[in-house]
Amino acid sequence: MKYNLFIEELSKRKNLVYEYLNSQRFRQLFTSEHIQDSVYSYINQSGKSLRPSVLLLSCSAVGGDESVVIPAAAAIEVFHTWTIVHDDIIDRDDKRRGGFTVHEEFRKKAINDLGYDEDEAKHYGTSIAILAGDMQQGLAVSMLSELGDPIDPKLVLYLIKDMELRIESLLIDGQFLDIRFSKLPIESLNLNQILDMLWKKTGVLYEFCGKAGAMLGLNTIDCEHPYVKALSSFASKCGLAFQLQDDILGIIGNEKILGKPVGSDIKEGKRTTILAKAFSSGNKIQKKQIMEIFGNTKVSSQDIEIAKKLLLELGGIEYTKDLARSYIKEAFASLNNIPTSKYRDLLSFWAEYMIEREF
C-alpha cells in the first residue's frame, strides 16, 4: 500500500515537471530539427524523476510550497539529462530508457536521412549528442533563474553558482575517475577510492537536490541550517545507494525492464564495489579470469556470463546490496532530524525505492 501511495505521489510530481519541460517557449528556441529532437530525446522518453521528486519533497518537508519551485525541479531533471547524454558517449552505450542513446539515434539518422557513410555518421551522432548536452546545461541554468516570488534572488544565484561550479566540478571529476580507474589494475584501488568516485558520479547531484529543496522551502541562503544539512546528508547517502543498486542492475538486471544494456560495465571494465569484493575473494584462477574479461570490449556474450557468475559466486553482488542497505540506514538517521509529516514519510519511501527498484 505504501509503495502504491509513493508511486502515485511520484507520478504527480513527474507530470508537473514534464509539463514545465515541454513548454512551447522552450521548444521554440531551436531552429534545427535535429538539435531540438536530440535535446528532447530522453525527455520525451521520460525518466523516473527521482531527483526532481526529492527536491520537491524536501521543500514540502520543511514547510515550503512545491508549486513555487517547479522550475528548480525541472532544472535538475534537464541538468541530469545532459550528464547522461555525455555519459552514454563515454560508455559507448547504444540503449537508454528502452530506446537508442542520443549519439546512436543520430548516427542512424545520418545514414538513413542524410546518406552519410558509417564513419561520418558516427561522428555526426557524437557531435549532435555533445551539442544537445551543452544546450541542456544552458536550459538548466535558465530554468533555475525563473524562480520568482517569494524566493530570495540571492538564494537563486547561490543555487546556480553551487550547481555550475561545485556540483559540476565534482560530477566531472567522478566521470574522469571512472574512466581512469577502468584502466588501472583492480588490486591498485581500495574501496574508499571506488566509493568516492561513485559518490561524485551520482551522490553529489542527489545531495544538491535535498539541499536545494530544503533551502528553497525555507527560503534561506543558510546552508548550515539543521534542516538543510539533514536533507543534504539524507539525499547524498540515498544517491550513493542508488548508484550501488545501479551497478547491481548493470550486472544482473533484466535488460527489457532496465531499458539499457546489461553487461556493458563488464566490457568497459568499470571499477565497482562488486568487482572489488569479488576480485579480493577470488583464487588465482578466478582473478586471472576477471582480469582477462573486464575491460575487454571484444569479449563474447559467453565471457560476460562467466564474469556474472564469478561476481555472484565470489560475493560481490551480495556485498554491494548490503552496502547499499547500510547507506539507506544512515540516510534514515539524517531524515529523523526533520519534523514528522506526510512528506517525511514519502522521502522515507523514496529512500527504500532507491535500492528496491528493478530499473
Average pLDDT over residues 121-134: 98
Instruction: Give the least confident one: 128-142, 252-266, 286-300, 322-336.
Output: 252-266
**Sequence-separated (6 or more) residues with CB below 8 Å from residue 93:** 101, 260, 261, 264
pLDDT at 256: 77
pLDDT given for residue 34 in this prediction? 96
144: nearest Cα among 233, 238, 199, 208: 208
Whether residue 47 is predicted with pLDDT greater than 90 in this model: the reply is no
- Asked whether residue 329 carries a pLDDT value surpassing 80, the answer given is yes
Q: Could you tell me which residues come within 8 angstroms of residue 327 by beta carbon, excluding any fewer than 6 positions away?
A: 237, 238, 240, 241, 244
Tell me: pLDDT of 239 over 80: yes
Per-residue pLDDT of 1-38, as tens digits, reads 567 888 899 999 999 999 999 999 998 888 899 999 99
- Residue 192: how many CB atoms within 10 A of its CB? 8
Topology classification of domain 2-356: Farnesyl Diphosphate Synthase (1.10.600)
CB atoms within 10 A of CB 348: 19
115-119: average pLDDT: 97
Q: What is the pLDDT of residues 153-211, one digit of tens each?
A: 999 999 999 999 999 999 999 999 999 999 999 999 999 999 999 999 999 999 999 99
Q: What is the mean pLDDT of residues 321-348?
A: 97
Mean pLDDT, all residues of the chain: 94
Give the rounded percent of residues in the chain with a pLDDT score beyond 90. 86
pLDDT of residue 2: 65
- The residues spanned by each domain of the chain are 2-356
Q: What is the pLDDT of residues 338-358, one digit of tens each?
A: 999 999 999 999 999 999 888
pLDDT digits (tens, 9 = 90+) for 202-225: 999 999 999 999 999 999 999 999
Give the pLDDT score at 97. 81
pLDDT, average across residues 295-317: 93
Q: How confident is the model at residue 14, as a pLDDT?
A: 95
> How far apart (Å, rounded) are the C-alpha atoms in residues 128 and 121?
10
How much is the pLDDT for 185? Answer: 93
Model confidence pLDDT, tens digit, residues 65-89? 999 999 999 999 999 999 999 999 9
Among 39-43, 65-69, 264-268, 317-321, the least confident range: 264-268
Q: Which three cell numbers stand for residue 339?
A: 519534523
Residue with C-alpha cell 530499473? 359
- Name the amino acid, one letter, at 231: L
Q: Which H, E and C letters describe the chain, residue by residue?
A: CHHHHHHHHHHHHHHHHHHHHCCHHHHCCCCCHHHHHHHHHHHHHCCCCHHHHHHHHHHHHCCCCHHHHHHHHHHHHHHHHHHHHHHHHHHCCCEECCEECHHHHHHHHHHHCCCCCHHHHHHHHHHHHHHHHHHHHHHHHHHHCCCCCCCCHHHHHHHHHHHHHHHHHHHHHHHHHHHHHCCCCHHHCCHHHHHHHHHHHHHHHHHHHHHHHHHHHHCCCCCCCHHHHHHHHHHHHHHHHHHHHHHHHHHHCCHHHHCCCCCHHHHHCCCCHHHHHHHHHCCHHHHHHHHHHCCCCCCCHHHHHHHHHHHHHCCHHHHHHHHHHHHHHHHHHHHCCCCCCHHHHHHHHHHHHHHHCCC
**Is the peptide bond preceding residue 339 cis, with omega within 30 degrees of 0?**
no
User: What pLDDT score does 1 carry?
Assistant: 53
Q: Reply yes or no on whether the pLDDT at 259 is more than 80.
A: no
pLDDT of residue 261: 74
